[in-house]
Structure 1
Amino acid sequence: MVSTAKNFLASLTAEQRASVVFPFEDDERFFWHYIPSADIPKRYDRPRKGLTLSEMTSHQKALASALLSAGLSQQGFIKTTTIMSLEDILRIMEKDTAGRRNPERYHFSIFGEPSAEGTWAYRIEGHHVSLHFTVVKGKATGNPTFLGSNPGEVREGPRAGLRVLGAEEDKGRALMTALTPEQRKVALVAEKAYADILTERSRKAALAGQPSGLLESKMTPAQRKLLAVLIDEYIENLPGELAEQRRQRVKEAGLNVYFAWAGVIEKGGPHYYRVQSPTFLIEYDNTQNNANHIHSVWRDFEDDFGVDLLKEHYTSAPKEHGHDPHK
């Protein structure tokens, strides 16, 4: 991450660098959304910040791609870049001539100065992609991670049959259909699927009330294996060290993990699911555009935006470091 970020920054002009670099403490680091960039000003009266791929030269794009790759596994990189490419399909489907749909309208931002010993972060974001990485004294974290897909399944044209997040859908449904009728009654928390993921773009992941759905401890060994396969699909979007952090969260939770479903169980209907433990949350929905538009996210209740990593750093830092761990 450090080397790819430094190489990317070194390729930029002074003007481009001003669009990319923000102070680490800047509140901008916590601003995130998964709607198209063209819709941000209308909704929030401000632009989405950062330098877009469309504003880069060919060699700068290659270095930006390397930075994207540094935070993802091969699986995650393929999913993310394929999601970006769906903008071309939407442009054709919607006859967009205003540039709202653009596979190069993805924004790169860096917070602080990349270094092996310092504290810094970076964000890569645009329609249906919102990736956040924080590095503190050589330790990295990669939460939250949002990936979406519109269309969920390409149904016409040369790319017909493409399902970027098909595994997320199929593995969730495989677990739901493996439940007994009695278990399904517990897992089904709403007859109608929610319009979007419930946490949306909240700065801190939170769901009102106690977790609902079917507790993992009430599942059979075979059902637990299906749940593990589903969770792994989200874990394995990140590379080794970051994936291992997520596996540790799962291990900490033990059997205290809830699986909840809302909406239609059969393929093709609007549906939603979540996997929730005391430490992490997975949300997925496919309701928009006649249930052909997917949103999915991994949130960490303690360490979104590296908050837990920073707390650990400030607590162990000497007093002259200038940070109060209680603030």
Structure 2
Amino acid sequence: MAPSVSILETASRGSEFRNFIPEPGHPRIDGLDQTDIETYSKKIASDPHVIQVFDKWKAELREPFYGITTDGRRKEGIFKRADEGAPVEEMVAAATELRALLSEQELRIASHDIDSDAWRKWSNPEVLIFKYGLQLQSLESYKIEAILKLVEASLSKTGYYKLKAAMETNHFLGELCNAAPILNRHSYQFSLFGTPSATKPWGFSLNGHHACLNIFILGRQMTISPVFLGAEPNQIDAGPQKGLTLCAEEGAYGLELMNTLPEQLQQRAQIYKEMYTDDMPPGRWNPYDQRHLGGAFQDNRIIPYEGVKATEMPLTQQGLLLKAVASFIILLPPKAFEARMQQIKSYLHETYFSWIGGFGDDDAFYFRIQSPVIMVEFDHHSGVFLLNKVPAKYHVHTIIRTPNGNDYGRELLKQFRNGVQEQRF
């Protein structure tokens, strides 16, 4: 389900991000080359407006995990233990090798119980809100390589490329804005959960600015969510990584789907014509997540269905919707990807597609595809380090969530502890 060359060309043309790079000394970036992540984070966290937001996020974490739902009631019995072909032997081998390389102190910092709420402390901002894992930029290079070897063993080739692309575009942003101490390819935290095993539950996370990855593993089954991948800008136009582009496929398939829907369905899918409007209810937009609903600290959010049901669409558009979803979950290794796609297809009759913004070639937009077993979001954002005040197509955020209690593999973990055996097909 890889996109065609023409789709990628359409999605990535017309970048104008260099018009919005702040000049040296601009208040947005002044002094960032002379700081470090902890000093910077403490400074940001002392701002009264930021304190208010962080306090709200921390309050969300104090609530027991329940999972994203459409009405506050979790659908039960929709996730089953199964052999889905996840490459557990390769993952265990890479994790075991990594553990052997870490010092006792580093292993202690990185390690958590499998059901630890440290899972839920991930966040996308460059600010270090919680310290709960190893900071890559403090490690020797061979230890960073071992962490990335574990990540590579756990993803498809395309998925690993996307993860590395998010890290490289973050580094590129640090170069553009003279902010390398806080924006670089290693400004991430890594954590291990449980003990790597071919039969028992374990997992790991790698989280930081524009790259948040949470992977739960149980036998040959895995859950990759929550995931946040993004970039500002989403393409590199100079240096050794010139030509690298991130998240073009997701946006291209979503835009093609919206443009080819029958007009009546287009109108129903487009829940707001503007990227921000006063007609939005409280909480529907905020300056941090903007249009995203499933971002960090939203583990228990109620997110009603919006837009158009997939089975109301013509078959061609149903196919495009599935291609759009596939472009998000292509992170998964091949067999696990196929199993996940089959699960998603089985709930097509309960899958909804919604859209915010215009849908011309140059329009910024947001879309969400949501069902009982998957929720993916795509959003174009205004500038954070770059100076564009309105959403731009070169600042992209994407999110993957598993509703109804299986983010972080929590539902599969519960079944394991209740003695439920995996199904074999």
| Among candidates 40, 43, 50, match of residue 128 of structure 2 | 40
Aligned match of 2:13: none
Distance 1:301 1:146, change over 3 A: same
Deviations along 1:223-252, one digit per CA (max 9) or x if unpaired, are 112112111112211113432342133122
Distance 1:113 1:203, change over 3 A: farther
Determine whether 1:252 maps to 2:354: no
Give the Cα separation in 1 of the matches to 2:234 and 2:274.
19
* CA apart distance, 1:301: 0.9
- TM-score normalised by the chain length of structure 2: 0.68
| Among candidates 46, 58, 61, match of residue 141 of structure 2 | 58
* CA apart distance, 1:162: 3.8
Deviations along 1:167-203, one digit per CA (max 9) or x if unpaired, are 1111110101111221110110112225231122135
Aligned match of 1:215: 309
Instruction: Extract structure 1 runs of 4+ deviating beyond 6 A.
Output: none
Distance 1:207 1:242, change over 3 A: farther
Unaligned runs of 5+ in 1: 319-327
Aligned match of 1:124: 206
Aligned match of 1:18: 108
Give the Cα separation in 2 of the matches to 1:121 and 1:52.
17
* CA apart distance, 1:86: 1.2
Distance 1:52 1:241, change over 3 A: farther
Aligned match of 1:307: 410
What is the aligned residue count? 308
* CA apart distance, 1:205: 5.7
Give the Cα separation in 1 of the matches to 2:189 and 2:209.
10
Aligned match of 2:92: 2
Contact 1:152–1:293 under 8 Å retained in 2: yes
Give the Cα separation in 1 of the matches to 2:210 and 2:106.
24
Aligned match of 2:51: none
* CA apart distance, 1:24: 2.2
Determine whether 1:276 maps to 2:370: yes
Contact 1:249–1:280 under 8 Å retained in 2: no
Distance 1:157 1:237, change over 3 A: same
Aligned match of 1:323: none
* CA apart distance, 1:317: 6.3
Give the Cα separation in 2 of the matches to 1:273 and 1:207.
17
| Among candidates 204, 225, 230, match of residue 299 of structure 2 | 204
Aligned match of 2:171: 88
Give the Cα separation in 2 of the matches to 1:141 and 1:70.
14
RMSD between superposed Cα atoms in Å: 2.1
Deviations along 1:123-179, one digit per CA (max 9) or x if unpaired, are 11111111111123553322222211111344x534665421111111110101111
Which of structures 1 and 2 has the larger relative contact order (alpha carbons within 8 angstroms, sep 6+)? 2
Give the Cα separation in 2 of the matches to 1:265 and 1:160.
28
Give the Cα separation in 1 of the matches to 2:220 and 2:161.
26
Deviations along 1:85-120, one digit per CA (max 9) or x if unpaired, are 1122211221226x1112111221001211223222
- TM-score normalised by the chain length of structure 1: 0.87
SS of the residue corresponding to residue 142 of structure 1 reads: strand
Determine whether 1:142 maps to 2:221: no
Aligned match of 1:102: 184
Contact 2:293–2:303 under 8 Å retained in 1: no
* CA apart distance, 1:300: 0.8
Give the Cα separation in 1 of the matches to 2:272 and 2:263.
15
Aligned match of 1:321: none
Contact 2:381–2:397 under 8 Å retained in 1: no
| Among candidates 117, 125, 128, match of residue 27 of structure 1 | 117
SS of the residue corresponding to residue 284 of structure 1 reads: strand
Contact 1:131–1:146 under 8 Å retained in 2: yes
Give the Cα separation in 2 of the matches to 1:270 and 1:59.
40
Name the % identity.
26
Give the Cα separation in 2 of the matches to 1:208 and 1:232.
22
